[in-house]
């Protein structure tokens, strides 16, 4: 769907006013999530995270025809991937991978641009979420 789906005090846990972008939703194995913990404060604090993914899973990564193909993913606990470079090269239709640094409250990562990778080659940590941008719909099996 490539739309932000939000669960907050106004729409959760159950509400008849749910829409496709504002509703209670189920957590999915292999997916990463972004959590905004104080949207009413002077400066917002956002975390990205996941639980431990014990078994490999296939993750469907979507590309919307009218916007970016951003997908939040989680890492398999025994992943062979060590860094952003390994992740972006392991997903065939990926053109960018980013991670959210909760300490600095900034995003960083790699983009494939003009035949080379540009940006920060961050390390992979199994209990963090990562954003992967794809150029076409694809299914990715965690490694």
* More confident of the two residues 23 and 63: 63
Domain that holds residue 123: 33-141
User: Which three-class secondary structure state does DSSP give residue 115?
Assistant: coil
Let me know how long the chain is. Answer: 143
- In this prediction, residues 12-33 reach a mean pLDDT of 68
Mean pLDDT of 73-80: 86
Which residue reads 């053109």 in tokens?
95
Task: Tell me, yes or no, whether 117 lies in a domain.
Answer: yes
**Does residue 27 surpass a pLDDT of 80?**
no
Mean pLDDT of 28-48: 70
Residue 3 lies inside a defined structural domain of this protein: no
pLDDT tier, 48 (very low <50, low <70, confident <90, very high otherwise): low
Joined together, the tokens standing for residue 42 give 């002077």
Within a domain: residue 7? no
| Residue 6 resides in a domain | no
| Residue in 103, 101, 73 with CA at minimum distance from that of residue 88 | 73
Give domain status of residue 1, yes or no: no
Contact yes or no for 94/62 (Cβ under 8 A): no
Measured CA to CA, the distance from residue 81 to residue 129 in angstroms comes to 14
In the chain, how many domains are there?
A: 1
Distance CA 95, CA 102 (A): 23
**Region 87-104: what's the mean pLDDT?**
90
Predicted local confidence at residue 26, as pLDDT: 77
Provide the pLDDT for residue 23.
73
């Amino acid at each position: 769907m490539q739309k932000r789906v939000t669960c907050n005090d106004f729409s959760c846990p159950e509400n008849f006013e749910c829409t496709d972008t504002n509703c209670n939703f189920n957590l999915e194995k292999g997916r990463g999530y972004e959590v905004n913990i104080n949207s009413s404060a002077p400066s917002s604090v956002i975390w990205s995270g996941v639980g431990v993914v014990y078994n490999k899973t296939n993750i469907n990564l979507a590309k919307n025809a009218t916007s970016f193909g951003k997908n939040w993913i989680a890492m398999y606990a025994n992943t062979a991937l060590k860094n952003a470079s390994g992740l972006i090269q392991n997903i065939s239709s990926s053109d960018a991978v980013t991670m959210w640094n909760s300490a600095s409250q900034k995003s960083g990562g790699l983009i494939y641009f003009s035949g080379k990778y540009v940006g920060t080659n961050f390390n992979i940590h199994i209990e963090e979420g990562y954003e992967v941008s794809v150029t076409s719909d694809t299914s990715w099996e965690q490694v």
